[in-house]
Chain A
Amino acid sequence: MKTEKMVYMANQIATFFSSQPTDEKAEGVAAHINDFWEPRMREQLLAHCEAGGEGLSDLALDACKLVKQPA
């Protein structure tokens, strides 16, 4: 998918978890992405993070570190 759309979707998820009263916000974002994003979407996200993660919110960037690399 278009990078902007993927970034937008990741940021939407991060926005939800950023409002939650927990210290484990990045874990929440990453768990959501691991549960619902198909491997090629996660690959695209991880590749984008690798390349600097332009457009991703801080929380989304943090979460990327916890996103599972597809096998």
Chain B
Amino acid sequence: MKDFIIPWGDDRDLGTPASKSDKTVTLSIDGFDITVPEGTSVMRASALAGIDIPKLCASDNLEAFGSCRLCVVEIEGRRGTPASCTTPVAEGMVVHTQSKKVAKIRKGVMELYISDHPLDCLTCAANGDCELQDQAGAVGLRDVRYTTGENHYDPTGTGALSMADAKRREGPGNHHYIPKDDSNPYFTYDPAKCIVCSRCVRACEEVQGTFALTIEGRGFESRVSAGAVDDSFLTSDCVSCGACVQACPTATLQEKSVIEMGTPTRSVITTCAYCGVGCSFKAEMKGDQLVRMTPYKHGKANRGHSCVKGRFAYGYATHQDRILSPMIRESVDLPWQEVSWDEALTFAANRMRGLQEKYGKKSIGVITSSRCTNEETYLVQKLTRAVFGNNNTDTCARVCHSPTGYGLGQTYGTSAGTQDFDSVEETDCALIIGANPTDGHPVFASRLKKRIRQGAKLIVIDPRRTDMVKSNHIEADHHLPLRPGTNVAIVTALAHVIVTENLIDEAYIRTRCDWDEYLAYADFVSDKRHSPEAVEMLTGVPAADVRAAARTYATAGKSSIYYGLGVTEHSQGSTTVIGIANLAMLTGNVGINGAGVNPLRGQNNVQGSCDMGSFPHELPGYRHVKNADVREVFENAWGVPIDPEPGLRIPNMLDAAVDGTFKGLYCQGEDILQSDPDTKHVAAGLAAMECVIVHDLFLNETANYAHVFLPGSSFLEKDGTFTNAERRINRVRKVMAPMNGYADWEVTQLLANAMGAGWTYTHPSQIMDEIAATTPSFANVNYELLEERGSIQWPCNDDNPDGTPLMHVDGFVRGKGRLIVTEYVATDEKTGPRFPLLLTTGRILSQYNVGAQTRRTKNSVWHGEDLLEVHPHDAEVRGINEGDFVKLASRSGETTLRATITDRVSPGVVYTTFHHPDTQANVITTDFSDWATNCPEYKVTAVQVSPSNGPTDWQEDYNAQAAASRRILPAAE
């Protein structure tokens, strides 16, 4: 890729990874002196000096391997021609990278490679993007002296110069020839083009940590192999992260999109729109067509790695299901009518204003999207506060990480993770609780697994035996498979062990926390009822395991905690977050690199949507609306008074709708009917509203109850920023024009102006400037700075002009850290004779959230439907076999899906995903919620499972209603 729009970031491959040494070494390379960190390879030192040594098996995201022999150099005083990739620099070393001797060796090596390579370069998919081609040029190969003999590329065995040539010839088969494997939906493996450099195998091991690939055979028989003999790439352990494709120097592993479209001609750095890791990607383009997404090596969250979703699953953005024309209808039993933007916006604005006149100012509200940009989210909450005149704004973070906001806010003073992802490279012990990063946050999981393979300790607290507990080359030191709903009991028991066994960091607590509060807390937590032995009956976890885990966490050195929705989505979600914060304070594990407390955010911009004042009780920057001084800032900026009372949260909106006092909703980029709990209640709430405006890419489930549909734009079609789980503000860049005509921020502005707002933004950078002007933690953030730095972590202001990778370094943001008592309260969602099993829910790797995006990609080959995981014991007593249709029933509702029998779940626990609307797992979940934030208790539902013949009546009714609701009449001529 030669056409960068970004000035920073040299994309050159320096051959071997950077050394982290503080000591430096000076050497001479081709007569130039260069000083580099000790441990740097001669190859890298040379590249840093601007001299590229030819190479094939080396790449700077992989450890040096020394197999291709193309990078040989001469070093004065040393015998032979060492490989520069595996030779570390030494003080005073004198290196010659080019001489007659090395030139001859390199040419000979390349000649051998080429003698077993099909020379169909002009029709090869990697033409123009092939390192073998480049290096053949670099070494000056002009002739191949070997006659064609035994080879890997010719299917006929008669010898041929190209595949086209080979196809024409007849003869006995070539047993070395292996046909192309195109089983993976996104890339092909063509063994005929493989030079066995092992970069793909090493990338799978070192970068991704899956170990799906290997080199089988020896010598001339050596071939890359995925899985066992009969496996294809699709059936192997391969998770389709793309690391091997990225590493491959030839067309052996090649994106199908490049095969179809040709090589891209320009690229733009942007940010993935899937999970909260927030990986940086290069959108590689040809005109306005996206050819491929490749992970950006200078992306600070992902460091050049990717997962199957960000790397490949972008086809939804141009899927035929996208709705591109605005639509309206009088009532939800009528078909949709396509109309002009003007007509749709006027209709929406009149209805919303009409509702306010009839039912009061507070009868309408908004839901901001954690999928959209900061700028778009900011505008939507501004719409409700400045134009609607109330605080009825909430976001999907309500149903995922709102307890993080409360818990970390109360204990530390900020609602955010304490570290950057880089710090995982320094952790000595990682405690994962209620998170499944290999599936939910795959790129972070790869970075964590790398650290675990280097010897860091690992504790996993999860009802299921996830891949973090045990998978290739990693195994948790402790797995605490607790019963769903007992997080607080386990976390408090860990604290009990730390305090009663005096594993605390007293000096830290005395300086950083309120000592009196600590004494009260220690008194509480030391009580025998919190001991691992006392809570064993509740949690189902052997006391000795809990004690051992607590000792490991407290004594390993720098211990970090990463947690997910298995913590927050409970009746005591906020209490568990507080308990986690306590553990880190007790052991002095906040404010240093490698330690900390880090929520793994579900969606790309959960952090940002919370930062931007999406919650009904706080303005941007987590400042309560009751504070007159904060309101004044926005009243001055917006020229309107701001309501000092908190607004409705999503569940409250639905309750108020059923009560008849909440009548209108503008819902941007969220599908509450599928994603929120107790589907019947959500449907009843939506059905009771008189104006539901859905602003989305697709006719989602919520749109079944909508009166206005405003087409949305994809992340490829707009400028803006996303903020990831590290508080990192990353740029999203427009690479193609919005198919629907407008970026989402423009749509919100049009709606606001139709209601009389008079907004005049012409670019999202102006919205960011307004955010910076009103929000102290963003004070110095602007697009120029983001262009210059690539990304920046808030707080970024005069006190922290470079942003803040690590928080709470010299003290907590709130002053003294607060240790808060965490009494366990059993959830009222209890098992009994009718519903004897506990259902918990989660994600899998290939699908994402409600599946609106990933179901519209080829990712469905890995996961075509939601499955119910049932333990063999529970299956046997119910007469359930693998693949059977089963009915899943709770007190809220019932649905059917297929069962899979596995001991990943404990007896008494069943598990499913919620990616498919046909299943509607949320018809099962209840309306219990977190005591502090109303975050729904998705993770615990008492259920019964029984054999079934097919869909429930409810599923059939739902599908009929959905089908009727999706009818579209074309626009009038």
- Report the separation of the CA atoms of residues A66 and B670 in the bound assembly, to the nearest whole angstrom: 36
- Asked whether, in the complex, the Cβ of A38 is within 8 Å of the Cβ of B932, the reply is no
- A15 touches which one: B658, B659, B931 (CB < 8 A)? B931
Assess A38 versus B648: contact at CB under 8 Å? Given A1-B659, A16-B575, A21-B524.
Answer: yes
- Asked whether, in the complex, the Cβ of B616 is within 8 Å of the Cβ of A1, the reply is no
- Asked whether, in the complex, the Cβ of B646 is within 8 Å of the Cβ of A35, the reply is yes
Interface assignment of B264: CB less than 8 Å from any CB of chain A: no
Interface assignment of B844: CB less than 8 Å from any CB of chain A: no
- Asked whether, in the complex, the Cβ of A19 is within 8 Å of the Cβ of B646, the reply is no
Assess A40 versus B656: contact at CB under 8 Å? Given A32-B932, A35-B646.
Answer: yes
Residues of B within 8 A of A21 (CB): 520-521, 523-524, 821
Which residue of chain B lies nearest to A11 when distances are taken between CB atoms in the complex?
Answer: B931
Interface assignment of B425: CB less than 8 Å from any CB of chain A: no
Residues of A within 8 A of B626 (CB): 34-35
B649 to chain A, nearest CB (A): 8
Which residue of chain A lies nearest to B934 when distances are taken between CB atoms in the complex?
Answer: A9
B325 to chain A, nearest CB (A): 36
Interface assignment of B645: CB less than 8 Å from any CB of chain A: yes
- Report the separation of the CA atoms of residues A35 and B406 in the bound assembly, to the nearest whole angstrom: 12
B485 to chain A, nearest CB (A): 14
- Asked whether, in the complex, the Cβ of A35 is within 8 Å of the Cβ of B661, the reply is no
- Asked whether, in the complex, the Cβ of A13 is within 8 Å of the Cβ of B659, the reply is no
- Asked whether, in the complex, the Cβ of A16 is within 8 Å of the Cβ of B931, the reply is yes
Assess A19 versus B823: contact at CB under 8 Å? Given A13-B931, A40-B661.
Answer: yes
- Report the separation of the CA atoms of residues A19 and B524 in the bound assembly, to the nearest whole angstrom: 9
Interface assignment of A47: CB less than 8 Å from any CB of chain B: no
- Report the separation of the CA atoms of residues A15 and B575 in the bound assembly, to the nearest whole angstrom: 11
Residues of B within 8 A of A36 (CB): 617, 646, 649, 932-933
- Report the separation of the CA atoms of residues A21 and B929 in the bound assembly, to the nearest whole angstrom: 24
- Report the separation of the CA atoms of residues A32 and B391 in the bound assembly, to the nearest whole angstrom: 17
Which residue of chain A lies nearest to B648 when distances are taken between CB atoms in the complex?
Answer: A38
B784 to chain A, nearest CB (A): 37
* Chain A 35-52 interface residues, beta-carbon cutoff 8 Å to B: 35-41
Interface assignment of B475: CB less than 8 Å from any CB of chain A: no
- Per-residue CB contact flags for chain B residues 833-869 toward chain A (1 = under 8 Å, else 0) read 0000000000000000000000000000000000000
- Asked whether, in the complex, the Cβ of A19 is within 8 Å of the Cβ of B821, the reply is yes
- Report the separation of the CA atoms of residues A40 and B114 in the bound assembly, to the nearest whole angstrom: 77
Residues of B within 8 A of A32 (CB): 932
Interface assignment of B721: CB less than 8 Å from any CB of chain A: no
Which residue of chain B lies nearest to A71 when distances are taken between CB atoms in the complex?
Answer: B645
- Asked whether, in the complex, the Cβ of B825 is within 8 Å of the Cβ of A15, the reply is yes
- Asked whether, in the complex, the Cβ of B821 is within 8 Å of the Cβ of A41, the reply is no
- Asked whether, in the complex, the Cβ of B931 is within 8 Å of the Cβ of A12, the reply is yes
- Asked whether, in the complex, the Cβ of A35 is within 8 Å of the Cβ of B652, the reply is no
- Report the separation of the CA atoms of residues A20 and B391 in the bound assembly, to the nearest whole angstrom: 30
* Chain B 125-142 interface residues, beta-carbon cutoff 8 Å to A: none
- Asked whether, in the complex, the Cβ of B646 is within 8 Å of the Cβ of A38, the reply is yes
A14 to chain B, nearest CB (A): 9
Interface assignment of B655: CB less than 8 Å from any CB of chain A: yes
User: For the complex, would chain A's binding face be called helix, strand, loop or mixed by DSSP majority?
Assistant: helix
- Asked whether, in the complex, the Cβ of B932 is within 8 Å of the Cβ of A5, the reply is no
Which residue of chain A lies nearest to B656 when distances are taken between CB atoms in the complex?
Answer: A40
Residues of B within 8 A of A37 (CB): 646
Interface assignment of B795: CB less than 8 Å from any CB of chain A: no
Which residue of chain A lies nearest to B644 when distances are taken between CB atoms in the complex?
Answer: A71
- Report the separation of the CA atoms of residues A35 and B661 in the bound assembly, to the nearest whole angstrom: 21
- Per-residue CB contact flags for chain B residues 780-793 toward chain A (1 = under 8 Å, else 0) read 00000000000000
- Report the separation of the CA atoms of residues A34 and B644 in the bound assembly, to the nearest whole angstrom: 11
- Report the separation of the CA atoms of residues A64 and B732 in the bound assembly, to the nearest whole angstrom: 47
- Report the separation of the CA atoms of residues A13 and B825 in the bound assembly, to the nearest whole angstrom: 11
Interface assignment of B820: CB less than 8 Å from any CB of chain A: yes
Q: How large is the interface on A (under 10, 10 to 19, 20 to 34, 35 or more residues)?
A: 20 to 34
- Asked whether, in the complex, the Cβ of B520 is within 8 Å of the Cβ of A41, the reply is no
- Report the separation of the CA atoms of residues A5 and B649 in the bound assembly, to the nearest whole angstrom: 15
- Report the separation of the CA atoms of residues A64 and B235 in the bound assembly, to the nearest whole angstrom: 61
- Report the separation of the CA atoms of residues A16 and B362 in the bound assembly, to the nearest whole angstrom: 30
Interface assignment of B647: CB less than 8 Å from any CB of chain A: yes
A36 to chain B, nearest CB (A): 6
A59 to chain B, nearest CB (A): 13
B363 to chain A, nearest CB (A): 10
Interface assignment of B895: CB less than 8 Å from any CB of chain A: no
Residues of A within 8 A of B929 (CB): 9
A53 to chain B, nearest CB (A): 19
* Chain A 1-32 interface residues, beta-carbon cutoff 8 Å to B: 1-2, 5, 9, 12-13, 15-16, 19-21, 32
- Asked whether, in the complex, the Cβ of B931 is within 8 Å of the Cβ of A5, the reply is no
- A1 touches which one: B571, B652, B825 (CB < 8 A)? B652
Which residue of chain B lies nearest to A13 when distances are taken between CB atoms in the complex?
Answer: B931
- Asked whether, in the complex, the Cβ of A1 is within 8 Å of the Cβ of B655, the reply is yes
B455 to chain A, nearest CB (A): 39
Most buried by B among A16, A34, A35: A16
B647 to chain A, nearest CB (A): 6
Residues of B within 8 A of A35 (CB): 617, 624, 626, 646
- Report the separation of the CA atoms of residues A5 and B655 in the bound assembly, to the nearest whole angstrom: 10
- Report the separation of the CA atoms of residues A40 and B825 in the bound assembly, to the nearest whole angstrom: 28
Which residue of chain B lies nearest to A2 when distances are taken between CB atoms in the complex?
Answer: B655
- Asked whether, in the complex, the Cβ of A5 is within 8 Å of the Cβ of B821, the reply is no
- Report the separation of the CA atoms of residues A68 and B523 in the bound assembly, to the nearest whole angstrom: 34
- A41 touches which one: B521, B523, B652 (CB < 8 A)? B652
- Per-residue CB contact flags for chain B residues 908-942 toward chain A (1 = under 8 Å, else 0) read 00000000000000000001010111100000000
- Report the separation of the CA atoms of residues A49 and B683 in the bound assembly, to the nearest whole angstrom: 30
Residues of B within 8 A of A41 (CB): 648, 652
- Report the separation of the CA atoms of residues A16 and B821 in the bound assembly, to the nearest whole angstrom: 9
Residues of A within 8 A of B575 (CB): 16
- Report the separation of the CA atoms of residues A36 and B914 in the bound assembly, to the nearest whole angstrom: 29
- Report the separation of the CA atoms of residues A20 and B517 in the bound assembly, to the nearest whole angstrom: 11
- Report the separation of the CA atoms of residues A63 and B648 in the bound assembly, to the nearest whole angstrom: 21
Residues of A within 8 A of B655 (CB): 1-2, 5
Residues of B within 8 A of A15 (CB): 823, 825, 931
- Report the separation of the CA atoms of residues A36 and B820 in the bound assembly, to the nearest whole angstrom: 20
B426 to chain A, nearest CB (A): 35
B361 to chain A, nearest CB (A): 11
Residues of A within 8 A of B645 (CB): 38-39, 70-71
Most buried by B among A1, A21, A37, A38: A38
Residues of B within 8 A of A5 (CB): 655, 927
Which residue of chain B lies nearest to A6 when distances are taken between CB atoms in the complex?
Answer: B655
- Report the separation of the CA atoms of residues A20 and B649 in the bound assembly, to the nearest whole angstrom: 26
- Per-residue CB contact flags for chain B residues 381-405 toward chain A (1 = under 8 Å, else 0) read 0000000000110000000000000
B708 to chain A, nearest CB (A): 24
- Report the separation of the CA atoms of residues A35 and B362 in the bound assembly, to the nearest whole angstrom: 17
Which residue of chain B lies nearest to A14 when distances are taken between CB atoms in the complex?
Answer: B931
- B656 touches which one: A1, A9, A16, A71 (CB < 8 A)? A1
- Per-residue CB contact flags for chain B residues 922-965 toward chain A (1 = under 8 Å, else 0) read 00000101011110000000000000000000000000000000
- Asked whether, in the complex, the Cβ of A20 is within 8 Å of the Cβ of B927, the reply is no
Assess A38 versus B927: contact at CB under 8 Å? Given A21-B520, A32-B932.
Answer: no
Apart from A9-B931, A37-B646: 20 A-B pairs, beta carbons within 8 A? A1-B655, A9-B929, A9-B934, A13-B932, A15-B823, A15-B931, A16-B825, A20-B820, A21-B520, A34-B626, A35-B646, A36-B646, A36-B649, A36-B932, A38-B616, A38-B645, A38-B649, A38-B656, A40-B362, A71-B645
Interface CB pairs A-B, < 8 A, 25: A1-B658, A2-B655, A5-B655, A9-B934, A13-B931, A13-B932, A15-B823, A15-B931, A16-B823, A16-B825, A16-B931, A19-B821, A19-B823, A20-B821, A32-B932, A34-B626, A35-B617, A35-B626, A35-B646, A36-B932, A36-B933, A38-B656, A39-B362, A41-B652, A71-B645
Residues of A whose CB lies within 8 Å of any CB of B are: 1-2, 5, 9, 12-13, 15-16, 19-21, 32, 34-41, 70-71
Residues of B whose CB lies within 8 Å of any CB of A are: 362, 391-392, 520-521, 523-524, 571, 575, 616-617, 624, 626, 645-649, 652, 655-656, 658-659, 661, 820-821, 823, 825, 927, 929, 931-934
Ranked nearest first, the 5 interchain pairs of A and B with the lowest CB-CB distance are: A19-B823, A1-B655, A12-B931, A21-B520, A38-B648
